[in-house]
Amino acid sequence: MQEFTLVLAEKPDAARRIASALGSKGVPLRNQTYEIPVAFDGKSYFVCSASGHLFQIEDPIPERAVFPAYDVDWFEKTNPARVRGRKDRYQIFQRRIMNISKFASNAVDFVNACDYDIEGETIGANILQFIHANPDRILRAKFSTLTDDEIRRAFLNLEVAKVSLATAGRIRHEIDFLWGINLSRALTSLANGSGEQFANVTIGRVQGPTIAFIVDREIEGRTHVPIPSWDLRCIVNNNGVSFEVRYKHSPVRTLPEAEKIYSEALKAKFAVVTSLQNYTIKLPPRYPFDLGELQKQAFYNYGMSPIRALTAAEKLYLKALISYPRTDSQKLPPAIQPERILHKLDDNQVYSQLIRMLLADPRRRKYPLQGSRDDPAHPAIYPTGQIPKGALTDDERNLYDLIVRRFLNVFASDAIIERTQALFEISSNEFETEWQTVIEQGWMMYYPFKISANPLPGVKLEKGDKIPIEKMSNETKFSRAPPRYNDATLLAKMEYEDIGTKSTRADTISTLIERKYVRKSKGLAPEENSLLLVHQLRENCPEIVSPEMTKSLEEMIELLQIGKESEAPVIAVQLSTIRAAVRKLMNLQNFGWERNLVYKKNKDLSLGTCPKCKTGSLVAIRSYKTKKRFIRCSNYNSGCKTSSPLPPRGLIRTANNLCNVCGWPNIVLIIGRRVASQKCSNFFCESKVSG
């Protein structure tokens, strides 16, 4: 067999495209492997596909009851007991590992052609290490699109693989695993303290702060006290055109002041124009897409969750239609030849009219507008210019359209908006209105952007004009609670707090929903167990739900990536933090869950002996039909009809004492961080009636 280079791709579609770019006469073999006897550069290649991570990190001791656990190992995904998901998944991993190992034994050189980011570096480095590839013969192919030109350019400019990048990836996996396994096992042990069977309690380094964000916003909403204010508005009519003006200092904070202004305005017949100001503003185009902005816009425009948007983007990348999506960059460097991409997109009938209009515009930008954020590995997300072959799914088509239009927008001229502000005097009180007109659409022709249209068509005002008044109103309004996070705003919060990575934030949100910590209900609403979890952790181990801890690790990982930090100190600091957190949890005698309304596996909460029949127990129950909570005796079906309603919201725990008036158990109500004073669980207790 002639000498050849083994190329490792991350996924089957990527392997196929790399093989096609290296040599059009490549021979497909079994197990997603391709032989290229003579490539474009005269060399011989075998291109093998992984299937994402073929090696996963595990605790050498699989028993969940054993913790703390500070030892970790990387295992082949070839053991059915260690592979989550379909039963036959391990066979795929086994075939891939055996196939790569077979070709590696005869290869002269190796090329890691997995996705060029910390995750792809880790996948490729792990596989090549475990199949015993010669580390001195491993090179790195760097490309941001799967087009033939860029793949060939990458193979003509192979680089020595950066050990620091793979090390940083491994360390992140190991630290995240140790955080998750130790804290989850400790919390599960505490939850099972009563001997009752609860569902496993899971938590992670990024999950903890993210749950806390959602819970804190929920608490703000539940505890919000509406504050009244008064909004004074007036309908005026100018030559048959009615429009609204508003009291300049609205909202008014006190009722007497609002009533005074309102009564004065009712006496007036005209609104006198006292001032007119016209000015124009320029709105520059939107920056090129980074992953976070793409996910947010996909949610606002098409209702896609972040994980759906990322999945669609990865499929478009593997079809060579867009550049690598996992990027933080807002820059499009000259190396990608953006002008050339514009001309290639002109061949696509869907966009040809827009592109020709853009190319013919004398005011268009010669160079694309750049944002401030950069990513050393990849540029901003952009279309490659290739025409889609075959049908796209709805998500893929919508996302591709968004990316193409955003790309066109960065070359377009500024939008020009004219704003008019008018002041009016009504009984010595100032009222105002403002409207705007789009003078030049600029980039908005290519990337649709919602902007209010001119609400006053045909209105022409002059200073001193007296406009007849049609109607006056004084509306009472109340301040609103902050809305729950949605997928886009939570993603923005995670970015702002710098927790997680561009690759993991969407997965974190999806995981919280899958594990029943969060549900979608007019946004992202925490389940009752999340409220309790955050409350208890803040009381006993606040670092688990603090963003500071996870931010500090991300900073260390970034230093590891660029070689300014070594492995040992990072592990030492993180292990010390994990040990301290586990120690705090293990020292707790009771986490409080066995006596709370944590509805797991249809278990109900026992509050104590029934004060009437003396043989049954008072049990707190949630109705599966009405979702209402109430107490009733366990002997209810045998004749004891003792019952009482419970508060509709909050977590309930027993106070371990009885009411002095009726003998029912006392309870404590918890809503977020607020702990109410203990009260009798009997809604009909005479102490409540008299109070």
Known catalytic residues are 324
- For residues 414 and 283, the answer to whether their CB atoms sit within 8 Å is yes
Give the residue among 130, 107, 132 at the shortest CA–CA distance from 54.
Answer: 130
- For residues 94 and 78, the answer to whether their CB atoms sit within 8 Å is yes
Chain-centroid distance, C-alpha 18: 31
- For residues 651 and 597, the answer to whether their CB atoms sit within 8 Å is yes
- In angstroms, how far is the first alpha carbon of the chain from the final one? 94
Contacting residues for 280 by C-beta, under 8 A, at least 6 apart: 416, 417, 418, 419, 439
Question: Which residue reads 């816009």 in tokens?
Answer: 297
Question: Which residue reads 């964000």 in tokens?
Answer: 213
Distance of alpha carbon 57 from alpha carbon 78, whole angstroms: 13
φ/ψ of 122, rounded to 5, equals -65, -45
Instruction: Using the Cα atoms of residue 291, residue 297, residue 300 and residue 302 in order, give the sign of their dihedral.
Output: negative
Q: Helices 394-409 and 352-360 sit at what angle, rounded to 10 degrees?
A: 10
CA distances 611 to 85, 476, 565, Å, are 50, 49, 65
Tell me: cis bond preceding 334? Omega within 30 of 0 counts. Answer: no
φ/ψ of 275, rounded to 5, equals -160, 140
Tell how strand 45-49 and strand 5-9 pair up.
parallel
CA distances 593 to 152, 358, 597, 666, Å, are 59, 62, 8, 17
Residue 412: Cβ within 10 Å count: 26
Per-residue DSSP letters for 313-361? Answer: HHHHHHTTSB--S--------GGG-HHHHHHHHTTSTTTHHHHHHHHH-
Hey, which bits of 339-428 come out as E strands?
415-426
